[in-house]
Amino acid sequence: MGQTLAQKIISKACSKDYVTPGEIEVAKIDLAMIHDSGGPRRVKPILDHLGVGVWSSKKIVVVSDHYVPEFDSETKAIQKLTRDWVKSNNIQAFYDQMGICHVVVPENGHLKPGMFVVGGDSHSPTGGAFGAYMFGIGATEMAGVLATGEIWIKVPETIKIDWSGQLNEFVTAKDMMLYTCGRLGMDGGKYQAVEYTGSAISSLSMQERMTVSNMTAELGGQAGLIKPDITTKRYLENVGITNIETEFWESDEDADFLDSFSFNANDLVPQIAAPHSPANSRNITEEEKIAVDVAYIGACTGAKMSDLRMAANILKGKELASGVRLLVAPASKKDQNLAKDEGIMKVFEDAGATILPNSCGICAGYGSERLDADVICVSSTARNFQGRMGALSSGVYLGSPYTVAASAITGCITDPRHFIEGKYE
């Protein structure tokens, strides 16, 4: 019997020709990623207690993205601890306040097809967009990885989600994943590997694929895989990765999947997820006219360069609705600089947006812009759990960057397709 993409990557990590779902194996780590929140401040005490150092200073990436900016004694202390730990362990790849880990790691060429990667964050499945098996683990398990370079894994079954057809104008990868969450629920992945296939997936840009893989976490999946292709190769070559092998890293035709789901992108319309779960997703036409106070373009899921372009497409030459605040937190400094060069940041500024640091920010409940009591927010983030972005009485609606921008202009949840002709009707 053939192997799924997940089995092939895990087989390589375990130095085996074949692994079977359900087996427990010990796998060697190609890369470990940690950030300032769950990284040094959590793992250092464990490693110190054990009296061990890191197994490799070249296979660990550290990103400061949660406690950013440094605005009080606690955040300053955490950042100092992070920098000191990086220096004392001679970590070769450290990105200090350069953006969100899930965007910074791939844009700096750390991921490629066939890698077996762990990350200290629940949205680590983002790496699956590059044909890497990447998943999130907690601090205790990460300490073990940092000390040994290995981890045990129960070989997963793979669930296949196929998207045929092509996305219509103003319909995005975010809409695909919100729709999937609405159909399958937040335990739809059942902690298995999820593989995304089909013409609609293969036509996505790399950053849109990253959104798909990222939100595998919302399905309850461990990893969200997309087979690498020419789009992957071109992206990686652009960030300095050459001699990229793509042909082998795909599921065999006779691979066995635990379950398969088929959706048609031709039929998909913009989605909106009502508070307090991504699984509360439905067609935006069912939620239009709900008044909003804050529109947030941010997070690894919703503020990459492709996302900023979407929002600017809607906002150009427009003004915010009276009483609505638009917050924009570009996912990385690199993407913000590109957006500035393209005039996109000026579009946001002209519209009256407040530009926030390149960090996780209020998506992860950090910073000074947390939502106040009873505030209604429309957001490009991946999650809208109660109290995650601020007060328990606040409410967050999830949508694509197009939807967030359209809603900021009208002051209520709005279908972005009203702006296809360049004028709201």
pTM: predicted TM-score of the whole model, two decimal places: 0.97
Under CATH, which number does the domain 271-419 receive?
3.30.499.10
Lookup: tokens for 208: 């849109």
Cα–chain-centroid distance for residue 342? Answer: 23
User: How many residues belong to the chain?
Assistant: 425
- Select from 271, 89, 262, 105 the least CA-distant residue to 174: 271
Amino acid identity, position 215: M
pLDDT (0 to 100) of residue 422:
57
Q: What are the boundaries of each domain within the chain?
A: 5-264, 271-419
Mean pLDDT (whole number) for 400-404: 98
pLDDT (0 to 100) of residue 425:
47
User: Which residue, chain included where needed, has tokens 């406690």?
Assistant: 67
pLDDT (0 to 100) of residue 420:
82
Q: In whole angstroms, what is the distance from residue 347 CA to residue 401 CA? A: 14
CA distances from 13 to 25, 58, 131, 133, 208 (A): 9, 18, 14, 10, 27
User: Which residue, chain included where needed, has tokens 């200073």?
Assistant: 57
Q: Answer whether residue 423 shows pLDDT above 60.
A: no
Determine the 3-state secondary structure of 27 from DSSP.
Answer: strand
Mean pLDDT (whole number) for 302-322: 97
Report whether CATH 3.40.50.2300 matches the domain 5-264.
Answer: no
The reply to whether omega before 416 is within 30° of 0 (cis) is no
Is there a common fold for 5-264 and 271-419? yes
Q: What is the pLDDT of residues 324-370, one digit of tens each?
A: 999 999 999 999 999 999 999 999 999 999 999 999 999 999 888 99
Mean pLDDT (whole number) for 276-295: 95
From the number of C-beta atoms within 10 Å of its C-beta (0-12, 13-18, 19+), residue 247 rates as exposed
